[in-house]
Amino acid sequence: MTTILSPQALPSLPVINHGHATPLTNGYTHQESPERTARSTHSESSGELLTMPQTDHDRPEITPPARSHTSAELNGASTRRPNVQVGFADEQADSNGIPERPRGQLQRANTEGNFRRRSPPARRAASEEIWEMRHGWEDQYNSSEYLTLLSSAFYMYYTDKRHETGGRPKEEDHNCPPIEWRMKDRLKTVSAALAICLNIGVDPPDVVKTNPSAKLECWLDPTATTAGSSKVMEQIGKKLNEQYETLSIRVRYKLYLDPSVDETRKFCTSLRRNAKEERVLFHYNGHGVPLPTPSGEIWVFNRNYTQYIPVSLYDLQLWLGAPSLYVYDCSHAGNIIANFDKFVQKHEAENAEAKAQDPNVQLQQYSDNIQLAACGKSESLPTNPDLPADLFTCCLTTPIEISLRFFLLQNQLPTDLALKDVMKVPGKLQERRSPLGELNWIFTAVTDTIAWNTLPRDIFRRLFRQDLMVAALFRNFLLSQRIMRCYGCHPMSVPVMPETHDHPMWESWDLAMEMVLAQLPQLRVAEEGGMAYEYQHSSFFAEQLTAFEVYLNQGAPGQEAPAQLPIVLQVLLSQVHRLRALILLSRFLDLGPWAVNLALLIGIFPYVCKLLQSAAQELKPVMIFIWARILAVDSSGQSDLIKENAYQYFLHILNPATALPVGNSSEHRAMSAFIIAMFCRKFHQARVVCLQSEDLLKTLIHHLKDPENPLLRQWSCLLISMLWTDYPEFKWKGIKESAHQRLCEMALDPVPEVRAAALHALNNFLGIPDITDMIRQHEESIASAILPMTADSNAMVRRELLVFFSSFVTRYQQKFLVAAYEQLLEEREKLIDPDNAATNSSGHRRGQSNSSNEEGNDEPVSHNSVQGSVWKHILVMSVDAHPEIAQDAGTIVDYVHEALLKSPLGDKTRPIIEEMSKISQRTAALSRQSSATPVSRNLQSASPAPRPLPRNESYLSIGMRRTASVAAALKHLAIGGATAPDGGVNGANRASAPNGGPQQRGPRARVPAEWSQPPGERDHTTTSAAYGSAKIPTTRGFKPHDPAETPKLPLKSWFFEWAIEYFREPQMRPNEGEEPGSDDYNARLWRRVRNEKTLSMTQPLKGVAGTSKWDIPNGFFNNGSQPAKMCFHQFEDHLAIADDKDNICIWNWQQSNRLSRFSNANPPGTRINETRFINEDDQALLMTGSSDGVVRIFRNYESKENIEVVTAFRALSDIVPSNKNAGLVLDWQQGQGKLLVAGDVKVIRVWNAATEICTNDIPARSNSCITSLTSDQVAGNVFVGGYGDGAIRVFDQRLRPQQAMVKCWRNHKQWITNVHMQRGGFRELVSGSRNGEIKLWDIRKDEPLRTVRATKDTLRTLAVHEHAPVFATGTDRHTLNLHNVNGTFLNSLEPYSSFLHNVRSTPIAATAFHPHRMMLACSALNSNHINLFGCCQL
């Protein structure tokens, strides 16, 4: 088991290189990659933890599995799912009683470095040569302790549940649909007629009795007494009444002894009249009357007992009606069942006819009937004298006694027990600790289990969970099937019961009886006052719980219902086994909604409701867990919680002062908060009773500060949200406690789910009916406090923010109409006079245009108002990079604009929109004409015009969102088709800016102009694809709005439903990818072996590469558009190529096959600046950065059909979109989970992938743009930036932002083309400027270690191999030069270009080394072709 330390565990360690020195054949020592040995994983709780095992490198080739997408850890509240503990006593795993969540033994692959043998550190150090690493990191590298810490684990990013689902709740699971486990029509048997037709002393004419014959009726012998027949009948009837009372004492029983036909009619009609719509029981003992007729008639007597009178089923049904329960204890009873339905249909037909004649007539029901018959149509009851004559009745009413008698009769072993002894088992049926009570308890569990495993679920619910009398009779009916079958009878029933006589559970029942009978003699002696004897209880329940535990340990294969589930239910009745049963039950419920549905179906709910009344401390944690799982699947238990104040159980646990007998008490308090939240959801009465709890809100505010458990913080927010929903009284209480202010402070919580939950609560805070000045101030303060969250990089948080904005807009709609109108005036002013508008873009004063004269020169009404600021942010979000955010924000914009047109300002608004539309179209046409070169004009006639990105928006918002700027928050933001391909007005303005424009002063004015400009400043490509020409990926589950549909506000939040799913997912077992033997585990194991094979194959080649020529062609293919950026995957045969606009192609370079092509969706006039693969050790994602400041991440990037957007956010909000200058540059730190972003801005922004917020804004310390970023990939603290003015600065993230710059080199005087720090090797830091100078640095020194004049021409590209001591430079003369880090020239290359182009005039456009292989990819300007070259000796 690996140990994972947090970043804070090693605060004082400097950047460390984890490499391994291996002597090379060319005379110098090469440093092995640190990431091959270890990778820093000290990121904050992040993504998915990937652990992989050590494997042999010589294992055979393994066929790659299909790409799986289920290996990510889906997490609801935090990026790493906390351990869930519901076990106690023997289930405890440590001193605190917290069983650790099981983890797979699959450890991570040591990747991105060189292969080395795994020898002990001491032995390894003795055999290695002495070497020196750059930057003074060799001392730390030799620290075996730090090596172990860094290599222990590896985190995956952007693979959490919030990324997999996009924050959307799952659709209904068709494999496990919700069930209705509550009986809507819960019938109960209220009355019973016990008709006994014995006519003692007179045998019926058609019955021939054997001699000896069965005599016992209700365990009484009618012939053994001298009393009269009437007295005996009374005794038998009384005994039968007592036997039925053991089944259900609440039923009103009425005895009818040898009834006449008139009495039968009277008591049957009276029975139905008194029962009304409830069920009645009709028990018929026909041992003293003729057999039922073939037509199903039963027999009774005349008034004088001189004749047998038949009673037809038609009459019996007419008298009893339905619902009814019939028990027939007589021979040939099957005739009754065979004819019963025929007469029911006749009654139904008569009802239909009567209904047709009079629709209002009151009709008797006949269709709901249950029947139990002793035997088939031609079968006779057994006459064995050892058996009672009413064997069927005994099975139904005294199952324990008849079972013991049957066991002795079937037992072939000698015994001293007589048949009469089995009737003397001590104890009572209701006392479970007595022998008789324990047998009855076991019998109930056995028969319930047999029924559960043999009956369909609906039949099981109807017969065993609806009516206590029906359930008891059918349990005993199963016994009758087993016993009477041995004597030639086959009991029948309606509904039909399957044959269960050979079920394996009967063997357990036999064993239980045998254990009691074996102790019976000693028990009898002790009962009679003899030697004391302690009864040895049965091990039945303990063994069945063990079997259930085995089932759980196997992982519930195939989601098959466990056979022991009914037994677990019965065990809850016993204090001895209750705790263990609850723990196992909680493990079962943790398997998912299907398990919860099964538990509810079996009848678990009444038991867990009753246990809430228990004060036992040890039961509280497990009860919390069980209730959380139940309410996550079925929230119908709200009314049950309010009964007898059961909800107080969980309110008490929420109190921080309440002690819980577990270590992870905050986890269980989070579950309690979830339970109360579900209790209050859409249940006003629950909110009312919670309001009476004085300390509840204070407790929740206290939990908002919990530093350890984000799940507790999240559900504290959501519970507050549920309490505030449509309940002003609780909102006033929240104002009194300043709860809304505390929630606003959660805007910077490190967990995105917590931030979203806080927004959900604040949204429900809005809506107090009377908007007083105090209420308005509170609501506006909330809106202003959460405005910075528009820059949150998590799409789920931004969407919850939009939901809040939509509610805020509807609440203050009139103010937003004014803000929207004034924004339109400002936009029109910018279009009419851009120069004047640029100086007034902040909105402090209005120019003297016609529009301002019309409206006057007064300050805008919405200026400095909260509504005005919110409106501008909504406009910004309407062009968000995330498609769902842009669509939802667009809905708000369209709604406001439509309302504006319908308002009194509508007459003034329409001319403004029309004028803006005309100006925008005219400006766009002029921009296209002025920017078109002769070559591009010729191309325009041959190729279709670039089409704008598809957007579903109404005509009302098109004019607004297609202008040159939409909000002061993003100055000059180019949107959609209104921007010229070269940047339009914005690009022109930027050309003269001090960030690298052509107007230069000082020393830089004396160098060639192209040396002080971006690489592509003057390029005119003729091979570019059109913007939006490829498929634009969307997020998972994205559904475009119907343009014809009228926008509606407020937006609906689905965050609460999404958060509930956390409690529906398994928490106590490993994820699929960590379970040995699972598909995901095997796929990861295969990838790990493949990665190790790649490392072991390429490691010996890296030293030779520094002295060999790189001129062997390894591939050649046509990309279809101008390549601008390229990136190799470390282990997959994937090459990502971005062109100079918005298209990305994924190639299999091994097969020269294009796998996919898609659009990055950056707006026209911008380009893709960066491409990176992340999570390369497992299933990689593709990260892109474009010059509009947006970072996008794609999954399934290699699939044409399945590619999806994982996330997209604006990493730089102040950048000016352009395809000139530096745009956006980034560097991804996989070990730290950090994204460094810079470019045409004054800061270097650090984004944390785990928290998805900006954690640091480090001043760039220069007026020049940043052209390149690189960082140490091991510890991740030091990074280096190259600037447009030639400066190179070194930063340390461990210092304060103002002091983070620790070194500045100004040896370069021109634009820095690239600066790169190797991941492995000597960790060389290489920089190159536009004049062709290459410099190698050590961050400890003030001067470069070496300067190499790579070319006399303009340097267009610089690529450095991650591990080999080689770098490649591309020039504007179509030449690619390769050197080693010593400055030795290796060789020169000229990539292939079409014969139609002048080769010398086509500069190198892009170069990239493979991270491990000795391979170089390159391409030239105005050529779509990609050339791959390798090292000649390799």
Length of the chain: 1434
Residue ranges of E strands in 314-378? 324-329, 369-373
The mean pLDDT values, 10 residues at a time, for the chain of 1434 residues are: 33 34 35 38 38 38 39 37 39 38 41 38 38 72 63 79 89 60 80 93 83 90 80 93 93 94 93 92 94 94 90 94 94 95 93 89 89 94 92 96 93 81 88 92 95 92 91 96 94 94 94 92 86 90 94 85 92 90 95 92 91 91 95 90 91 90 90 96 94 92 93 97 95 94 94 97 94 94 95 95 97 94 90 65 42 51 90 94 94 94 92 86 66 38 35 35 32 32 34 37 42 58 69 91 89 95 88 81 92 90 89 90 93 94 93 94 90 94 94 95 95 70 90 93 94 94 92 89 94 94 93 92 91 93 93 92 94 91 91 60 90 93 90 69
Q: How far apart are CA 1168 and CA 1143, in angstroms?
A: 8
Beta bridge partners, 1379, equal 1367, 1385
HEC profile for 812-859? CHHHHHHHHHHHHHHHHHHHHCHHHHHHCCCCCCCCCCHHHHHHCCCC
What is the token pair recorded at 1372? 């504007």
pLDDT given for residue 861 in this prediction: 84
Q: How far apart are CA 125 and CA 141, in angstroms?
A: 12
Q: How far apart are CA 112 and CA 1411, in angstroms?
A: 7
Instruction: Provide the edge-to-edge strand list for the sheet that holds 1425-1430.
Output: 1112-1118, 1425-1430, 1415-1420, 1404-1409
CB 583 within 8 A of CB 466: no
What is the token pair recorded at 184? 């809507």
What is the token pair recorded at 133? 């690493």
1400 CB-near residues (< 8 Å, 6+ apart): 1373, 1374
The 10 Å Cβ neighbour count of residue 193 is 21
User: Based on the number of CB atoms within 10 Å of its own CB, is 1314 exposed (0-12), middle (13-18) or buried (19 or more)?
Assistant: buried
Give the residue from 1256, 1251, 1219 showing the smallest Cα distance to 1238. 1256
Which CA distances in Å does 246 have to 187, 387, 985, 1305? Answer: 19, 21, 92, 95
Residue 521: how many CA atoms within 13 Å on its side-chain side?
5
Q: How far apart are CA 561 and CA 989, in angstroms?
A: 70
pLDDT given for residue 1075 in this prediction: 79
What is the token pair recorded at 716? 């504290």
Q: How far apart, in Å, do the first and last CA atoms of the chain sit?
A: 40
CB 392 within 8 A of CB 374: yes
Query: Which CB contacts under 8 angstroms, 24+ apart, belong to 940-948?
Result: 943/1026, 944/1026, 945/1026, 946/977, 946/981, 946/1026, 946/1027, 946/1028, 946/1029, 946/1164, 947/1026, 947/1027, 947/1028, 947/1029, 948/976, 948/977, 948/1028, 948/1164
Q: How far apart are CA 491 and CA 497, in angstroms?
A: 10
Q: How far apart are CA 1202 and CA 1207, in angstroms?
A: 15
CB 1319 within 8 A of CB 1231: no
**Residue found by looking up tokens 């291996």 in the block:** 22
Q: How far apart are CA 197 and CA 1265, in angstroms?
A: 106
What is the token pair recorded at 301? 């007597």
What is the token pair recorded at 918? 């005309």
Q: Which helix (H) or strand (E) holds 279?
A: strand 279-285
Side chain identity, residue 849: S
DSSP annotation string for 488-547: T---EEESPPPP-TT-THHHHHHHHHHHHHHHHHHHHHHHTTSS--------HHHHHHHH
The 10 Å Cβ neighbour count of residue 360 is 5
What is the token pair recorded at 1139? 């062109």
Q: How far apart are CA 1407 and CA 1400, in angstroms?
A: 17
Angle between helices 457-464 and 468-485 (to 10 degrees): 110
Which CA distances in Å does 347 have to 277, 334, 370? Answer: 18, 21, 17
Radius of gyration for the alpha carbons in the chain, expressed in angstroms and rounded:
41
Residue 646: how many CA atoms within 13 Å on its side-chain side?
20
If DSSP codes are grouped into helix, strand and coil, which group holds residue 644?
A: helix
Cβ density class 937-960: b for 16+ within 10 Å, e for less: eeeeeeeeebeebebebbebbbbb
User: Based on the number of CB atoms within 10 Å of its own CB, is 1199 exposed (0-12), middle (13-18) or buried (19 or more)?
Assistant: middle
